[in-house]
Amino acid sequence: MFKLSFPRWLFFGFSLVVAGVLDAASGSSGEALLPVPLEAYSEIEAARASELGIPSEDFGLVEILKLRVAAEPLNLVTLMLFLGAIMHTFAAGWFMKLSKEYEQIHDNRLREESQRNYVDGKPPVDLRATLFHFLGEVEVIFGIWVLPLLLVLTLFKGWTAAYQYIDGRNYTEPLFVVVIMAIAASRPVVSFAGNLLRRVARLGHLRPSAWWLSILTFAPMLGSLITEPAAMTIAAMLLGREFYRYKPTERFKYATLGLLFVNVSVGGTLTHFAAPPVLMVATVWEWNLPYVFMHLGVRAVVGIILTMAAYYIVFRQEFAALDRTKSDLDSKVAVGKGTEPVPRWVVSIHLSFLAWTVFTLHHPALFIGGFLFFLAFTIATDHHQYAISLKSPLLVGFFLAGLVTHGGLQSWWISPVLSSLSEVPLFFGSMILTAFNDNAAITFLASQVPAFDPNLALDSVRSGRFQQAVVAGAVTGGGLTVIANAPNPAGQNLLSKYFGGNVSPLKLLAGAALPTSVMAVVFLVVPH
């Protein structure tokens, strides 16, 4: 009897899926529009209200969602896939554990078996261990779930509609994040940022506590100028070098990571062009720099300062232990000849590339072209550079692209949820929804809601407070999960080695709970 191995079963199943998809695609017109415009749902709800002889405004949230699912059953399926991807992120640690177990079994078997000669002396790879490791990489999860999403779209609407939906998504932000991360992680940029923050940390004699305060206070606010992804990259690299390498306690590690995510999320609100959640609505709602700074930025600064003070008090004993660890390590490290500092002209050119990328963030052809020139320059000045690694930026970009793909099909339920809330519930609703979707997606969908449009709303003052509530809630919740804010995957990727290669979503949530709560109180209580 012919026995199918695991790889053959995998190939056989994949072939059947492909055959089914092609068969479905060949019999479909592919003329469906994805996603269904929100205006179409309004017409359906108005028609249903007319049948019942009641105003459409009398429909409750549950009734509206039922109508939208009945009108388009695909909505429920795409929501289930989206929730499946979210649950998968929480199960990433389990897959990593399985990967390590299979890898151990594989290593033990290799020691018992006779050695075979493979290409370039490479040891054989265990497929199961590799597969589960892949499934445990948080950055690839949403991309993985795009595959069943594409299958479902093809089966429901046809191949033409499926690829037209993908083609219609705006992937500028993922591309931008890849480029800005790579430039921000270069030695000249990190050195420049490190020197600025060093001046602040020197006030505390360069102790880990002083670096911790300097990085987590000023780097997030720097994101209002150089964008949040760049600030996250710089802050994460410096935290790894000046804080995490001294092996803080598990509780302190997650508290710092949660604090980093929250501070970066709110720290980008000092301007109207750097933070994606603000950028998504600034033009539509006619927000300028003074407006954003006065209504959001001032409160963000107050919240960051209060949170830093609270965490410093809570972890003062841990700081003392880290200071002792640093002293012990420094005493054991031999003093040798240091590396040549980066010349100022090299730093200036790198900062120019960074500025060009920020300036052209809406124009992929321009900032990608600039990035190619950047790579050429790093080759020409290789003796002043770290090795440019694109693995982390590409993984983060892949994560965001998957989130954009799934998020584009969730407006059917997010929009009515936001529309049904008053100011304070809207703030908390936006904060909670952000934990399960990118905060930029939440604010973008809010910008499409008529109740938030100052030109359409009956009460412009009231609509303005609604606008501030939804944006404030979105940035406040930006640290609760890794998917809550676009730069979070970058920070997690750069710091995951200090967490055993896997960051626990539940421990991250616990670490972000206190700063999120402080930010919520500040945004709700502080006058503006």
Among 171-185, 359-373, 451-465, 505-519, the range scoring the smallest mean pLDDT is 451-465
**For 222-241, how does the pLDDT look when each residue is reduced to its tens digit (9 = 90+)?**
889 888 888 999 999 999 99
Q: Is the per-residue pLDDT at 31 higher than 80?
A: no
240-254: average pLDDT: 93
244-251: average pLDDT: 92
pLDDT computed for residue 457 by the predictor: 53
CA atoms within 13 A on the CB side of 330: 10
Residue with tokens 């509530």: 469
Q: Do residues 191 and 207 touch, judged by C-beta distance below 8 A?
A: no
| Nearest Cα to Cα of residue 390 among 364, 409, 371 | 371
Q: Is the per-residue pLDDT at 1 higher than 50?
A: no
**Listed ranges 14-18, 322-326, 330-334, 422-426; the one with the highest mean pLDDT:** 422-426
Q: How far apart are CA 505 and CA 489, in angstroms?
A: 12
Terminal C-alpha separation, the chain: 76
Q: Is the per-residue pLDDT at 396 higher than 90?
A: no
**Listed ranges 32-41, 404-413, 465-474; the one with the highest mean pLDDT:** 465-474
pLDDT computed for residue 264 by the predictor: 95
Q: Do residues 371 and 149 touch, judged by C-beta distance below 8 A?
A: no
Q: Do residues 419 and 45 touch, judged by C-beta distance below 8 A?
A: no
pLDDT computed for residue 282 by the predictor: 84
136-162: average pLDDT: 92
325-340: average pLDDT: 67
**φ, ψ for residue 76, nearest 5 deg:** -65, -40
**Listed ranges 6-15, 344-353, 446-455; the one with the highest mean pLDDT:** 344-353
pLDDT bucket at 351, cuts 50 / 70 / 90: very high
Residue with tokens 């003796």: 383
pLDDT bucket at 158, cuts 50 / 70 / 90: very high
Q: How far apart are CA 198 and CA 205, in angstroms?
A: 10
| Nearest Cα to Cα of residue 323 among 197, 202, 205 | 205
**For 54-91, how does the pLDDT look when each residue is reduced to its tens digit (9 = 90+)?**
887 888 889 999 999 999 999 999 999 999 998 888 88
Over the chain, what is the mean pLDDT? Answer: 86
Q: Is the per-residue pLDDT at 524 higher than 90?
A: yes
pLDDT computed for residue 30 by the predictor: 45
pLDDT computed for residue 2 by the predictor: 46
What does pTM read for this prediction? 0.79
Q: What single DSSP character describes residue 482?
A: T
